[in-house]
Amino acid sequence: MSTLAAQNPTPILSLEGITKDFPGVRALSAVNLNLYPGEVTALVGENGAGKSTVVKVLTGIYQPDAGLIRLHGEPASLSTPNDAAGMGITAIHQETVLFDDLSVAENIFIGHAPKARFGMVDWNQMNDQAKALLNRIGATINPTTLLRDLGIANKHMVAIARALSIDASVVIMDEPTAALSHKEIEELYLLVEQLKSDGKAILFISHKFDEIFRIADRYTVFRDGELVGDGVIGDTNSAELVELMVGRAVDSVFPQRTNELGETILCVEGYSHPTEFDDINFSLKRGEILGFYGLVGAGRSECMQALFGITRPSSGNLIINDEVVTPKSPADAINHGLVYVPEDRGKQGAITALPIVDNIALPSLKTTSNKGFVRMAQEYALAQQYTQRLELKAAALDQHVGELSGGNQQKVVIAKWLATQPKVIILDEPTKGIDIGSKAAVHAFMRELASQGLAVIMVSSEIPEIIGMSDRIIVMREGRQVAQLDNQNVSPERLVREAAGITESSAA
C-alpha cells in the first residue's frame, strides 16, 4: 500500500460487485474499484473492457444492475448526473463535453450559477468566481470569452475549473491528454499534482503507459468487463499491465513489409493554402505507407483535409493515376478513389446516433442499393466483412456507434471508408485513444491493406508508430515540409530535431 493510502485507509468512493448488462452483452461483471483521497488511480484496459461503462455508472448516466456504490463509506445512489455532481463526482472527458456558444463562466457554472435577487443569475459574481477558479489552476482565460474561441487545451482548463466549481471530491479524467501538446501535457500533470494535494481522488484513464507510470499511485485493470488486477503502480511494470489487459503477452514489434512497392499512384505538387501550409510536394506508390510527422500546429491534418476536398488549396496540383484532380468536395475525392479517416472521429468521422451497419454502408449506397431501394442484406454483409477484419467489439451491427468505446468508434470509421474500396486512404492519427491490443490489430490490418496494393498516408504523433509503420516519412514544421526521410536507420532524435527545428550544433 502506498504512503497516502496508508494515511487514508478509507476510500472516498468504492464500487463493490458492480454489474451492468446491455442486450446481448455484459459490460461489467461484479467489478470492484476504490478511489482514495490524494491519489491517482489509473484505470486501464482494452477498448470494450468496460472503462467507459464504469465512468457512466460513476457519473449517474447508467444505473448498475447489481452491486453497491459507497461514498465516504456510506451507500450512495447516483440516479442522475445531477445526483453525481451534487455528491462531488465530476468527469473531464477526452472530447470535452462543454457548450461552444456559451461563455467560459457559463460553462463552468452551468446548472449551479450563483443567484441574485428573485432567482436571477448574478453575472458579476459568476464571472468573478470563474476568474478566481481559472487563476487557481494557472489559466489566463477571460471568463466572458465564448468557448468556441478557445483551443482544445484551454477547453480542458475550463472543464477542470468546472470540476473545482462544484467542489468535487472525485475527479475522473478520461484520456485528458489525447489532443494536447507536450507543453500542455506537462501543465496538466502539474494540475493533477495540485488536485492530489487538495485531497481529491482522481480516476485517470489513459492508453499511454508513460503517463500512467508518471502520475498514477495505483492501477486497476479491466478485461472483458471484469476486474483482472489492481495494486500499487510501483509494484508493476508495463509488460505485466499489457498481459493483464489482453490476457497474453503482446509483441511490440510492428509488422514487417513483405510486398514490393508498385507504380506511383498519387503526386502532390506545390500544394499551398493561404494560412495553413505551403509548397507541399510528395509522391505515393501502390503498397506504400507514407508517414507524416510533426508537432501540434505543423499543418499535417490541414493538408490532408485539403487533399480530401474539405478545404480548397490556393495553388498546387493533386494527381491521381496520372489525372490532375481538383476535389471540390469529399464526394469528388471519393469518386477519384481517395478517402480520409479524420482524427476527430466524434465530429467528423461517424454519425454516433446511427447503428454500426448504417455508418459503414453510408458511403457505399451505390453498391448496396438498387433503383433507389436499399438492399439490407448487402449492407449487413458489407458491414460484417469489415468489422470482422478490424476485430470490432460490439453487441451487434444494430448497436448505435455512440454506445461503443472510442477505439471501436475509430474502427467503424476506418471500416466505412475501406468498404468503398479506395485507391488511396489517409489515416489521421489512426490509433489515437486505442488500447495496445487494438493498436496491434490496426497496424496489422494497415500492413495487410498495403500488401494488397492500397496506398496509405498515415499522420501520426507517435514516434514508434511513425518509424515502425512507415516506408518513408515526411516531417512538417509550421506549415512547411522540412524533411523527407527514408525509413532505413531513421532515429527518434532525428525526427524530433527536424520537427522542432533544432540543429545538431544547438542540440549538442
Distances in Å between the alpha carbon of 198 and those of 87, 192, 227, 236?
Answer: 17, 10, 29, 27
The three cell numbers of residue 406 are: 472510442
3-state SS class at 438: helix
Q: Is the pLDDT of residue 265 over 50?
A: yes
Beta bridge partners of 484: 474
Percent of the chain topping pLDDT 90: 43
DSSP annotation of 278 reads B
- CA atoms within a 13 Å half-sphere pointing along the CA-CB vector of 25: 17
170-174 sheet: strands from edge to edge: 89-92, 170-174, 201-205, 40-44, 218-223, 226-232
Tens-digit pLDDT profile for residues 153-211: 788 788 888 877 887 899 999 887 766 667 778 878 888 898 899 899 999 998 778 88
Higher per-residue pLDDT: 126 or 239: 126
- Give the pLDDT of residue 260: 87
**Which pTM was predicted?**
0.60
pLDDT band per the 50, 70, 90 thresholds, residue 504 = low
Percent of the chain topping pLDDT 70: 91
Q: Is the pLDDT of residue 438 over 50?
A: yes
Residues 6+ apart with CB under 8 A from 377: none
Q: Is the pLDDT of residue 289 over 50?
A: yes
- Give the pLDDT of residue 505: 47
Tens-digit pLDDT profile for residues 15-62: 999 999 987 678 899 999 999 999 999 998 876 788 989 999 999 999
Mean pLDDT, the chain, integer: 85
Domains of the chain in start order, with CATH, are 3-246 (3.40.50.300), 251-337+459-508 (3.40.50.300)
